[in-house]
Structure 1
């Protein structure tokens, strides 16, 4: 039973789909737009050729001239500012189809917009003519059993039932023929609308150059958003991890060691100010009207401050520095600092209280950063269950800089350790 219903459903789809009637209206609008252009062009063509009377009707030359004048007027109209946009919006609202899958970017006035306007109006005029003829004939066929003489219903003869008086069989067959004609008209309009929707993306959609420019702009925007997400994740995540640990320590030692609690609160205030500065820096990039931040973002020269911050959380950071961080290009220095900061944040989150060994080796064209901390035997209760973007963000930073980063447990260490290794190279020390 299902294999019989499915073909019937498919055959009835053009008659039940709202697309058919929206496209029908779109085509009729095209025919209405063509009417004044065609009328004016036909009048001019008859004046030029000296035809247009009952004794001298327009010949092939007159009709070709009228068609050429109509197309020229349509092409000129398509170049008026706003016409291409209106055609684009009207097609997206009524014609729809493949055009809906493209960005809502109207075409620029030009040859493609002119070609679409000509195609829309000429196809629409043809649909208007068959609509007027088909609907009239269908109505006359439907009322055939009710009238005695077809000439009392229309000014012309019944095309499908002949020119003579109707027989009883013709009167009974009239409504069936009218329904069949209406169905054929609807199917023809549905097919015409579907065929017209196929070239719409190429003629009404953005040009290939515009699509490429939009794709590049979206890629730049996405890359900038990802960079800002990494900045906020690393800076604010680190600050919040430090503040959380220091606040918990201050609360625990407030009575027994008030001096240490006071120092912890001082460091919490420092971290809050640092996080605010990083947030202002990120928001300044997002908002074009915001003045550029005066304070530069931290880089490898600030590793000593990072180590001091870690010590106040109860997680000692042992920093080993070989080489001069000032010789590292500025971009690489900032990004490497963020990776080191995220490594410390991970250690504070997953292994609080365990020491972190941070080793940075710098040569004129190369640096290597190694972070290593023991893994706790038992998962701490304060471990966060959400997140997990830290390592991914560090790997993205390393990849964008042309480096490599690996992170994971060291299976050969006893006790087990977590190890992060970053390698970066650059061509020369003059890289900005």
Structure 2
């Protein structure tokens, strides 16, 4: 019997392969295995430009011969193409392209692969290693996929074709002494071996993908910073929504109740209250629409550009609408040497307005009696500070201060005010003071300009 037929027609190897296929048919022929096969063939196709380039160079170096006509020169061209593949794999966009292909065709879980381009050199080197393995192994699998199936089919049909037997007689694949049934068995073994090699290579790349294409420490840090920035924007929008809508509801409720009580006796006050309700709701609808638009768009960059009320342009209207509900409000304003709230930094003016708004909302919901408000700029330890102090008698005996400045279990507004002050490096204190409730916020404004006098 021919040695070639003996080598490819071993009964024990064929039995082992057929048993494995019977036990796990999807392992070699399932959808995942087929997709990984296509993934490998795609890698082989991507290697072809590199291979053709090095083939020309190797052929010219060998004396102008055709390198494809010689197996050693072909292998040399293949080996010479891999360094070029590794070099191009250092480009940052290679990683997201490879990750997308691995996620789609190699059945690698998406959460284990990085999304963006490789930025650090460590990530680029890992992506280059994956790129080289994918294209290098894919080229071998592609060559086997082109050569083995025709060979296997010929061996399977050879006993049934006299012309094939005559053409193959005396070769390593067939001999006149070989039993006819061994040739089809050899073809089946070849095809099964090809499927096993492709499945094994695909599984190997799938296992290496999270290692080589997964996020690095820098990627995780960047993702954490992005999530933190997104959370900060969402928290800011939540504060804006709470302060605007919460204050509007409190003011409108108080104004409507006061108007109902004096509906017959003081029509002028009722008209003033209704006008304040109209103005409050109109402004609140506009702010609500802006916040909801940002939430729908999901663009954090637009949050900073969102128009917001400030002390300079909107404080007087806020105080007027609060008084329109019948609340006795005493206000003392001292902008300091600047003499105008418009001279404040924009972000400090914006956050201070919201803190005043939240304090008034808190007083309307939980207080009883007149409200005293002090807003002033003064100098402390060589630095200018904006101080906001609001006091009013509570509707009931205030509970012991819990450290969060909340009069109730919620306290979202006061926590939001504390967050606003903390963003500027300031602080908020809220709690009982004698028989009153006091809210005090301090926002740093920086060092006073030379010659400004420093303020009170």
TM-score (norm 2): 0.63
Alignment of 1:115-126 (within 5 A): 117-126=131-140
Secondary structure, counterpart of 1:405 in structure 2: strand
Secondary structure, counterpart of 2:439 in structure 1: strand
Give the C-alpha shift of residue 339 in structure 1. Answer: 0.9
Give the C-alpha shift of residue 393 in structure 1. Answer: 1.4
- Computed over aligned residues only, the root mean square deviation of the Cα atoms, in angstroms, reads 5.6
The answer to whether the 8 Å contact 1:88/1:106 transfers is no
Question: Residue 246 of structure 1 is aligned with which of 255, 272, 276?
Answer: 255
Q: Are 2:392 and 1:369 aligned?
A: no
Alignment of 1:349-360 (within 5 A): 349=365, 351=366, 353-360=368-375
Secondary structure, counterpart of 1:198 in structure 2: helix
Secondary structure, counterpart of 1:402 in structure 2: coil
Which residue in 2 is equivalent to 1:127?
141
Which residue in 2 is equivalent to 1:336?
352
Give the C-alpha shift of residue 395 in structure 1. Answer: 1.7
Which residue in 2 is equivalent to 1:193?
205
Change (3 A) 1:425 1:38: closer
1:67-90 Cα shifts (integer Å, max 9, x gaps): 32x347657987999988765543
Give the C-alpha shift of residue 264 in structure 1. Answer: 0.8
Q: Give the distance between the partners of 1:391 and 1:16, measured in 2 at CA.
A: 63
Question: Residue 390 of structure 1 is aligned with which of 413, 419, 428?
Answer: 413
Secondary structure, counterpart of 1:374 in structure 2: coil
My pick for the range that moved more, 243-252 or 262-271, is 243-252
1:310-340 Cα shifts (integer Å, max 9, x gaps): 2322333344567749578433343223112
Give the C-alpha shift of residue 38 in structure 1. Answer: 2.8
Change (3 A) 1:59 1:397: same
The answer to whether the 8 Å contact 1:20/1:189 transfers is no
TM-score (norm 1): 0.65
Change (3 A) 1:43 1:307: closer
Q: Are 2:311 and 1:299 aligned?
A: yes
Q: Give the distance between the partners of 1:214 and 1:73, measured in 2 at CA.
A: 32
Q: What are structure 2's unaligned runs of at least 5 residues? A: 1-23, 399-407, 451-456
Q: Are 2:101 and 1:90 aligned?
A: yes
Give the C-alpha shift of residue 161 in structure 1. Answer: 12
1:364-410 Cα shifts (integer Å, max 9, x gaps): 234353444414479xxxxxx998631231121011111222445x4
Aligned length: 399
Q: Are 2:42 and 1:34 aligned?
A: no
Question: Residue 361 of structure 2 is aligned with which of 330, 342, 345?
Answer: 345
Which residue in 2 is equivalent to 1:67?
79
Question: Residue 267 of structure 1 is aligned with which of 256, 261, 276?
Answer: 276
Change (3 A) 1:127 1:16: closer
Secondary structure, counterpart of 2:440 in structure 1: strand
Q: Give the distance between the partners of 2:175 and 2:154, measured in 1 at CA.
A: 13
Which residue in 2 is equivalent to 1:423?
442
The answer to whether the 8 Å contact 2:130/2:213 transfers is no
Which residue in 2 is equivalent to 1:46?
59
Q: Give the distance between the partners of 1:180 and 1:39, measured in 2 at CA.
A: 30
Give the C-alpha shift of residue 119 in structure 1. Answer: 3.2
Q: Give the distance between the partners of 1:154 and 1:346, measured in 2 at CA.
A: 98
Give the C-alpha shift of residue 428 in structure 1. Answer: 1.6
The answer to whether the 8 Å contact 1:322/1:360 transfers is yes
Give the C-alpha shift of residue 121 in structure 1. Answer: 1.6
Which residue in 2 is equivalent to 1:310?
322
Change (3 A) 1:49 1:173: closer
Which residue in 1 is equivalent to 2:3?
none
Give the C-alpha shift of residue 281 in structure 1. Answer: 8.0
The answer to whether the 8 Å contact 1:28/1:128 transfers is yes
Change (3 A) 1:39 1:332: closer
The answer to whether the 8 Å contact 2:310/2:351 transfers is no
Q: Give the distance between the partners of 1:91 and 1:15, measured in 2 at CA.
A: 18
